């Protein structure tokens, strides 16, 4: 039983670490604000959740377990909300995704070339 | 960096980082306070201010070499001064030998609560803390004197109606999440308040967290709505009552034949007296800190509203 | 080992940054941020002094013999809250200055003051 618990907790923590790490890579490598925020917003919520679940498996105390559950609920609630608010604020302030800008530029070019 | 918004965001991150640094240095109570104040309230206040004063810094023309010169000389002198300091973490440093052994060894017998920081804050150095609370109270009064504006009732009603109308179009997600979270934040603040004897926490932290919850509400639902929930006159009264409560504990202990803030005489059993005294004092501190923070935020936000209102009326007059 | 003093050096560097911002920048909000960095450097100085090797947080528990020094924690705990209250007071001054001078750059304010002084001096002469 002990080995099962240890292995599963290790598995969850490893998956969580991988997700957080990939979120970090995405933050650095993606081209514009929205894709970056997507990378971090999605992976960090899940990654933190996974790490917390992994820690729940090895928590010795019912009190520690309860605290971890509360932190998990809090992250699940707050993580997506903050990403939503960030994206909304960026959109309201007129920041356009890079891909959209490119598309627009191409369209303009085509329009220009067709008129020429 | 010329964009003040980015500067303020960075200073918020710096506050959070220094909070985690304080945890690493075993100062959990301090970290608690710094996380709530440095990353939360101070960032918010600065943001409110730059919405009023403008976001961009004007580039300066003069060269900062003289400033750099002064700073480097000061830094060099300070580093020269550190050469006589005890090394980091040394247990025989002078500050560990003077009064703190008594706090660490005897506070359990004398005060009877596990958190040494709380017993030093509220009992051994209660007079000191009283001064700090008075300073906070005075700062609150100062902000009030500087920024308070007279409000008209009709404007408020209009504003509440307009905000409630827009409720379902704007900020829907964040409003609902905040509605779910605010009760828990308030509950957590009360937990911090009353659990401060046993774990990290106490009146200062609880007050700041409580105020943060109310400020969150005011930001999402509009100032007028928040003012309806928490009356400004009422909260000013609470701020004064907190300080009064603190001072009265000292006076009562004086009348019972002890020194000022000597809680031993508050009850027949000295330990019970200490517990009672610390409880009441933390309560007073919490009340004052929370209400002063709320007063400060309300006044800044109210000033902002007042300015934009003035601009609007000017605009309509000029267009007429 | 002289490296044992690194905490003090970190504090000195932070202090220099804060002081530089206060002296060299003209924007009043930025000056206040510099002042708060200066303040934090003092907090870090106190807290790092309180740390004892092998000590734990000063909350009495069974089986712990070495605690960090609680006294600086108390001083800084209150100083942080007092710091934000006084910063708020400074910010309110900035807001009023903006209303009076419609600028928060030190140079502009100085210029307007000098102009007003000159005018009043001329009026007195006349």
| Chain segment B69-85, per-residue pLDDT in tens | 888 998 889 888 888 88
What residues have CB less than 8 Å from B155, skipping those under 6 apart? B224, B309
- Percentage of the residues of chain B whose pLDDT score is greater than 90: 17
pLDDT at C126: 78
CA distance B315 to chain C (A): 17
Of C12, C98, C105, the CB nearest to B78: C12
Contacts of B173 in chain A (CB under 8 A): 81, 84-85
CB-based contact B34:C17 (threshold 8 Å): no
pLDDT at B105: 80
CA distance B108 to chain C (A): 8
The ipTM is 0.87
pLDDT at B164: 61
Q: Which helix (H) or strand (E) holds A57?
A: helix A33-58
Whether A85 sits inside 8 A of B174 (CB atoms) is yes
**Considering only CB atoms, which residues of chain A are within 8 Å of chain B?**
77-78, 81, 84-85
Outline where B39-125 has alpha helix (H). Answer: 42-53, 65-82, 100-110, 116-119
Distance CA A75, CA A54 (A): 15
Contacts of C61 in chain B (CB under 8 A): 114
Of B42, B67, B146, the CB nearest to C23: B67
The DSSP 8-state label assigned to residue C56 in this structure reads B
Of B33, B46, B68, the CB nearest to C29: B46
User: Is pLDDT at A81 greater than 80 in this prediction?
Assistant: yes
Count Cβ atoms within 10 A of the Cβ of residue C13 and give its class: 0-12 exposed, 13-18 middle, 19 or more buried.
Answer: middle
User: Is pLDDT at B156 greater than 80 in this prediction?
Assistant: no
Instruction: Work out the pLDDT band at A39, boundaries 50, 70, 90.
Output: confident
For A6-25, how does the pLDDT look when each residue is reduced to its tens digit (9 = 90+)?
898 889 999 999 999 998 89
Distance CA B19, CA C44 (A): 10
Distance CA B65, CA A43 (A): 46
Whether A85 sits inside 8 A of B180 (CB atoms) is no
Instruction: Work out the pLDDT band at B304, boundaries 50, 70, 90.
Output: confident
Contacts of B72 in chain C (CB under 8 A): 16
Instruction: Work out the pLDDT band at B166, boundaries 50, 70, 90.
Output: low
Matching residue, tokens 């006349």: C126
Sign of the Cα pseudo-torsion (B152, B154, B155, B157, in order): positive
Q: What string of pLDDT tens digits covers the 126 residues of chain C?
A: 567 778 888 889 999 999 988 888 888 888 899 999 999 999 998 888 888 887 788 888 777 777 888 888 888 988 998 999 999 999 999 988 888 888 888 888 888 889 999 999 998 887
The DSSP 8-state label assigned to residue B226 in this structure reads H
pTM for the complete prediction?
A: 0.85
For B210-249, how does the pLDDT look when each residue is reduced to its tens digit (9 = 90+)?
999 999 888 888 788 888 888 888 898 999 999 999 989 8
Rg (chain C; Cα; Å): 22
pLDDT at B240: 92
- Percentage of the residues of chain A whose pLDDT score is greater than 70: 93
CB < 8 Å & 24+ apart, contacts of B173-179? B173/A81, B173/A84, B173/A85, B174/A81, B174/A84, B174/A85, B174/B220, B175/B220, B175/B221, B177/A77, B177/A78, B177/A81, B178/B216, B178/B217, B178/B220
CB-based contact C5:B83 (threshold 8 Å): yes
CA distance A81 to chain B (A): 6
Whether B95 sits inside 8 A of C105 (CB atoms) is no
CA distance A77 to chain B (A): 7
Q: Which of B284, B207, B214, B297 is nearest to B246 (CA)?
A: B284
CA distance B169 to chain A (A): 13
User: Is pLDDT at B135 greater than 90 in this prediction?
Assistant: yes
pLDDT at B138: 92
Q: Which of residues 134-193 of B touch A (CB under 8 A)?
A: 173-174, 177, 180-181
Distance CA B21, CA B25 (A): 6
Chains sharing 3 or more CB pairs under 8 A with chain B: A, C
Mean pLDDT of A75-102: 82
Distance CA B141, CA C113 (A): 28
What residues have CB less than 8 Å from A74, skipping those under 6 apart? none
Distance CA B276, CA C91 (A): 38
Q: Which residue of B has its CA nearest to A74?
A: B181
Chains sharing 3 or more CB pairs under 8 A with chain A: B
pLDDT at B289: 92
CA distance C107 to chain B (A): 9
CA C89-B227-B177 angle, 5° bins? 100
pLDDT at A114: 58
CB contact, 8 Å: B70 with chain A?
no
Q: Which of residues 22-51 of C touch B (CB under 8 A)?
A: 23-30, 32-33, 36-37, 40, 43-44, 47-51
Distance CA C102, CA C90 (A): 17
The more confidently predicted of residues B310 and B287 is B287
The structure tokens listed for C85 are 């209250």
Are chains C and B touching, using the cut-off of 8 Å on CB pairs and a minimum of 3 such pairs?
Answer: yes
User: Is pLDDT at B161 greater than 80 in this prediction?
Assistant: no
Of C4, C37, C47, the CB nearest to B22: C47
CB-based contact B43:C91 (threshold 8 Å): no
The structure tokens listed for B174 are 């964040």
pLDDT at B136: 93
Rg (chain A; Cα; Å): 21
Mean pLDDT of B93-107: 79
CA distance C112 to chain B (A): 16
Three-state secondary structure call for residue C87: helix
Q: Which helix (H) or strand (E) holds B88?
A: none
pLDDT, averaged across chain B: 84
Q: Which of B283, B279, B134, B289 is nearest to B208 (CA)?
A: B289
Q: Which of B5, B7, B67, C98 is nearest to B15 (CA)?
A: B7
């Amino acid at each position: 039983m002990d080995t099962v618990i240890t292995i599963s907790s290790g598995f969850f923590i490893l998956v969580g670490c991988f997700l957080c790490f990939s979120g970090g890579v995405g933050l650095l490598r993606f081209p514009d604000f929205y894709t970056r925020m997507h990378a971090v917003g999605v992976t960090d919520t899940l990654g933190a959740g996974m790490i917390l679940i992994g820690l729940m498996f090895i928590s010795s105390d019912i009190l520690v377990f309860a605290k971890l559950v509360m932190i998990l609920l809090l992250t699940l609630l707050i993580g997506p909300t903050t990403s939503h608010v960030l994206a909304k604020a960026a959109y309201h302030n007129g920041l356009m995704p890079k891909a959209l800008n490119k598309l627009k530029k191409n369209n303009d070019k085509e329009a220009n070339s067709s008129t020429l | 960096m010329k964009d003040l918004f980015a500067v303020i965001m960075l200073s918020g991150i710096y506050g959070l980082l220094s909070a985690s640094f304080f945890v690493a240095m075993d100062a959990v109570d301090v970290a608690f306070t710094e996380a709530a104040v440095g990353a939360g309230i101070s960032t918010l206040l600065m943001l409110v201010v730059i919405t009023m004063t403008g976001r961009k810094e004007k580039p300066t023309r003069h060269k900062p070499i003289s400033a750099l010169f002064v700073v480097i000389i000061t830094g060099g002198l300070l580093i020269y001064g550190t050469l006589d300091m005890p090394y980091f973490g040394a247990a025989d440093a002078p500050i560990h030998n003077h009064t703190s052994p008594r706090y660490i060894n005897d506070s359990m017998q004398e005060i009877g609560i596990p958190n040494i920081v709380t017993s030093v804050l509220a009992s051994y150095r209660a007079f000191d803390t009283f001064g700090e609370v008075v300073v906070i109270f005075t700062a609150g009064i100062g902000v009030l004197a500087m920024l308070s504006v007279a409000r008209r009732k009709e404007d408020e009603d209009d504003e509440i109606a307009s905000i409630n109308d827009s409720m379902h179009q704007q900020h829907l997600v964040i409003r609902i999440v905040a509605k779910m979270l605010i009760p828990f934040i308030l509950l957590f603040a009360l937990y911090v308040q009353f659990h401060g004897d046993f774990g990290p926490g106490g009146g200062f932290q609880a007050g700041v967290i409580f105020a943060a919850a109310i400020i969150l509400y005011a930001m999402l639902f509009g100032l007028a709505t928040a003012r309806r929930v928490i009356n400004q006159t009422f909260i000013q009264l609470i701020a004064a009552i907190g300080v009064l409560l603190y001072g009265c504990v000292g006076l009562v202990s004086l009348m019972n034949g002890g020194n000022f803030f000597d809680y031993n005489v508050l009850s027949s059993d000295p330990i019970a007296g200490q517990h009672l005294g610390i409880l009441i004092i933390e309560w007073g501190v919490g009340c004052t800190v929370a209400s002063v923070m709320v007063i400060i935020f309300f006044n800044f936000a109210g000033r902002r509203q007042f300015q934009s209102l003035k601009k609007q009326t000017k605009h309509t007059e000029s267009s007429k | 080992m002289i490296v044992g003093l690194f905490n003090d050096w970190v504090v000195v560097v932070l202090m220099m940054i804060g002081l530089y911002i206060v002296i060299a920048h003209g924007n009043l909000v930025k000056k206040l941020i510099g002042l708060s960095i200066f303040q934090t450097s003092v907090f870090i100085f106190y807290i790092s002094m309180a740390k004892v090797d092998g000590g734990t947080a000063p909350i009495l528990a069974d089986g712990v013999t070495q605690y960090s020094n609680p006294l600086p924690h108390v001083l800084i705990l209150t100083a942080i809250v007092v710091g934000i209250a006084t910063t708020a007071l400074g910010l309110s001054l900035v807001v009023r200055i903006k209303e009076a001078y419609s600028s928060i750059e030190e140079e502009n304010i100085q210029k307007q003051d000098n102009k007003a002084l000159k005018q009043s001096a001329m009026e007195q002469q006349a």
